[in-house]
Structure 1
Amino acid sequence: MRAAVFTALCISLSAGAHVLLSANPLPLGMLAALSAGVFAVAFLLAGRRERGYWSIAALLVPLELAADTVFTTGQHTCYGQSGGPVAGSMRSLGLDLLCSGEFGTPLARMTARGEALAGTAASPWLLLGAHVGVGLVAAAWLRRGEAALAGLLRAAAAVAFRPLLLAVAIVTVAPVRSTGRPGRRSDRTRAARPRPHLLHSVLRRGPPCPAAA
């Protein structure tokens, strides 16, 4: 579950920022393949313990930048510099399967200044700054969500096991015998003192008989 949430956030942020700043859609097949790769990495590094902010950010930001590089390569490979489809030797290698479908076409159409921005020399730095800034904010959001989930699980475990703990405590506590009336404090203190062994024993055995000897 943690790896799935991480993958959904990483891919959606990276793909959305890339489509907005490049004003071009993304190949749907390449997006699905990259999502599977990010999920595998997140699943291997998720672990069982709660992760801190810098641990999440150290994985989220590099994966976002790697996804942006893959998206740029995919756009150039699938659509070309002029936006044409895959043809020639690329189609024979099976890249047309990765280039099937389009993701973010309505979002790309909404960016009216995207074409002018994509052709400027500052566009790579804008992409880098956007990915790093959004990645740090998303890491903080994931950290808060993970802390909230861990607290919720601890509270649920405490509520679920509390009746069992009470039952175990009732069974393990020794029952207190009632004497009918409360005695005096001196009697209770005297009764609580440990007594020596064989206090009420009567020794009736004498020396052995001579015949038996």
Structure 2
Amino acid sequence: MGTAGVRTVRAGIFTALCVALSSGAHVLLSGSPVPLLPFLLVSAAVFAAAFALAGRERGFARIAALLVPLELAADTVFTTGRHACYGQAGGPVTGPLRSVGVDLLCGGGSVGTPLARMTAHGGQVTAYPSGVHGVPGTALPWLLLAAHVAAGLLAALWLRRGEAAAARLLRAAA
């Protein structure tokens, strides 16, 4: 397998793990699935970033400078897609939005539907919980932002370590 093959495999594994974790956490917090099109858009963006970064060894700061905004953008895309397809209350959007292209965004299914059914609060899906383990609902957005920044930094560290290991392996093989 050539260099492009190794890059593709590494980027694919990284994408699968990161997007699965990100969308799974999003489904757990929101109680509703992620529409398929936003999921695929985020997957393509993460794969492209991981593939581009896998070309040569880069430092943690450069990787983190790309991955933290990418994590925040993924959350924005998931949230926007969820609100467009399922509405604020979690039910399917009907009415005039269907006539102006929501079917393009929402068609094709959802990701995480079984997980969303398990996390629905007493059968009632909410946009986000009002509070988590004693944390007031007003602090939740800040905790979510901190969690996304931490996830981006962790992903950057993971990608950096993987990149360093791959570089050592290629140098040893050469």
* Same fold (TM > 0.5): yes
Residue 148 of structure 1 corresponds to which residue in structure 2? 165
Which of these two proteins has the greater Rg computed from alpha carbons?
A: 1
Which of 14, 19, 33 is matched with 2:22 structurally? 14
Q: Shift of residue 106 of structure 1? A: 2.6
Query: TM-score scaled by structure 2?
Result: 0.75
Q: From the superposition, tell whether residues 59 and 116 of structure 1 become closer, same or farther in structure 2 (CA, over 3 Å).
A: closer
Contiguous gaps of at least 5 residues in structure 1: 158-213
Q: From the superposition, tell whether residues 60 and 31 of structure 1 become closer, same or farther in structure 2 (CA, over 3 Å).
A: same
Q: Shift of residue 63 of structure 1? A: 0.5
Residues 27 and 102, structure 1, Cα contact 8 Å, conserved in 2: yes
SS at match of 1:81: coil
Residues 25 and 105, structure 1, Cα contact 8 Å, conserved in 2: yes
Which of 80, 83, 89 is matched with 2:87 structurally? 80
Q: After alignment, is 1-10 or 48-57 more displaced?
A: 1-10
SS at match of 2:22: helix
Aligned residues between the structures: 156
Q: Shift of residue 47 of structure 1? A: 6.6
Percent identity reads 67
Q: From the superposition, tell whether residues 97 and 112 of structure 1 become closer, same or farther in structure 2 (CA, over 3 Å).
A: closer
After superposition, the C-alpha distances for 1:102-157 in whole angstroms (9 at most, x for unaligned) are 11123234436685952333332222121111222222111111111111111111
Residues 11 and 64, structure 1, Cα contact 8 Å, conserved in 2: no
Residues 19 and 43, structure 2, Cα contact 8 Å, conserved in 1: yes
Contiguous gaps of at least 5 residues in structure 2: 1-7, 131-136
Higher helix share: 2
Q: Shift of residue 24 of structure 1? A: 1.6
Residues 10 and 64, structure 1, Cα contact 8 Å, conserved in 2: no
What is the distance in 2 between the residues matched to 1:132 and 1:84? Answer: 29
Residue 23 of structure 1 corresponds to which residue in structure 2? 31
Residues 21 and 127, structure 1, Cα contact 8 Å, conserved in 2: no
Query: TM-score scaled by structure 1?
Result: 0.62
Q: Shift of residue 85 of structure 1? A: 2.2
